[in-house]
Amino acid sequence: MDARLRKSRAIAMLFLAAGLVLAGPWVGWSPNLILVGVALAFVLVKRLIARSNKPEWPIALGWLLSMAAIAGGVLLTGGADSPAKSWLVVSAIALPARFHNRGLYAGVAITVLALAAVTIGANPDLVGDAPQLFIFPVALIGAAVAMSMALRNAEIEHRTVAVIDPLTGMLNRKALESRTVELEVQSRVTGQPIGLIVCDIDHFKRVNDEHGHSMGDAVLKDVAYRIRKELRAYDLAYRLGGEEFLVLVPGADRGDGYELAERLRRVIEGGAVEGVPVTASFGVAASGQEGLDFDALFKAADEALYSAKSAGRNRVHVGDGAVAPSLA
């Protein structure tokens, strides 16, 4: 979401800059120096985000800088009497798109405190005589954030529907596309391997042909449940389509990936679904210290899966050409 906001944020800052320039003869030119500093700060923050394995912290820093700059502009253009007080809503309205509720509430509180500092703190007597100079901007901030939250929640709901497989409850191929970009950046930053496991249910077409598609759906849901139950909180499982699944395992090398795939194989084999025996074949690959190339990694795992199925199914093969002991 922060990446999506960059263009809009730049346009918003251009509007504010234009307002300060046009009003320069009346409010002075010093507020424009703040905009120069903010522009330089955003260049630094962008670099920090690209290099950080916790990008939420540089993003929060960038938001604080923009909010502080606007508050500084309010202070330099009249404090409580400044017509720029409402500009603080620009920072507040971006909060729901970037942060979960805890960060959102903290951001709103910081914005209101900043408004209090540049109004009540700067001109206590003026605000005492006309408290609406503080109350009205606070009400505007609250209303704008509430509207932005509604849009954020609608976006989350839409994205959830778009990336969740309705049958199994697993993430789908579309969700995988966005996640791989994040993992490629993460692997370059941390140098840790990323394990990839592809799984294909054996003879799934036969299940559909002999027992019907409702049984096929039951098998898919049961296999998806067994896979998810064996994974850690930060491992991610996807249904690629049909009877094929994929698991991403951050921090796992080929050995770790093989051990997990073998555990999944045994769990799937261990219980029939409504009397129908189920097995699956697995291909495993892992990135090295050079970082993650997802397309190459997926190709290696997919070739290993094909090798496992060609060798008799219900087994795990590793993508570097090494074959795990026969498990048929």
> Per mean pLDDT, which of 61-75, 81-95, 295-309 is the most reliable?
295-309
Separation CA 230–CA 224 (nearest Å): 10
pLDDT band at 53; cut points 50, 70, 90: low
0.85 exceeded by pTM? no
Is the separation of the CB atoms in 252 and 260 below 8 Å? Answer: yes
Q: Which residue has the higher pLDDT, 286 or 160?
A: 286
Q: Which domains does the chain have, with CATH numbers?
A: 2-163 (no CATH), 173-318 (3.30.70.270)
Residue 224 has pLDDT above 50, yes or no: yes
State which amino acid sits at residue 249: V
Question: Using CA atoms, how far apart are residues 156 and 94, in angstroms rounded to an integer?
Answer: 15
Distance CA 30, CA 188 (A): 42
214's CB contacts (< 8 A; 6+ apart) are: none
What pLDDT does 3 receive? Answer: 63
Pairing mode of beta strands 236-241, 244-250: antiparallel
Is the per-residue pLDDT at 76 higher than 60? Answer: yes
> Looking at residue 277, what is its pLDDT?
94
108-133 mean pLDDT: 94
Question: What digits encode the pLDDT tens for the residues 168-205?
Answer: 989 998 888 878 888 888 787 778 899 999 999 999 99
pLDDT(328) > 50: no
The Cα–Cα gap between 263 and 16 comes to: 58
Q: Which tokens sit at 116?
A: 């209090």
pLDDT exceeds 60 at position 129: yes
Quote the mean pLDDT of the chain: 86
Has residue 210 got a pLDDT over 60?
yes
Active site residues: 243
Does the pLDDT value for residue 34 go beyond 80? no
Least confident of 15-29, 128-142, 229-243, 283-297: 15-29
Give the residue from 68, 50, 69, 72 showing the smallest Cα distance to 59: 50
- Provide the pLDDT for residue 158: 57
Q: Is the predicted pLDDT of residue 157 greater than 90, yes or no?
A: no
| Element housing 139 (H / E) | helix 132-163
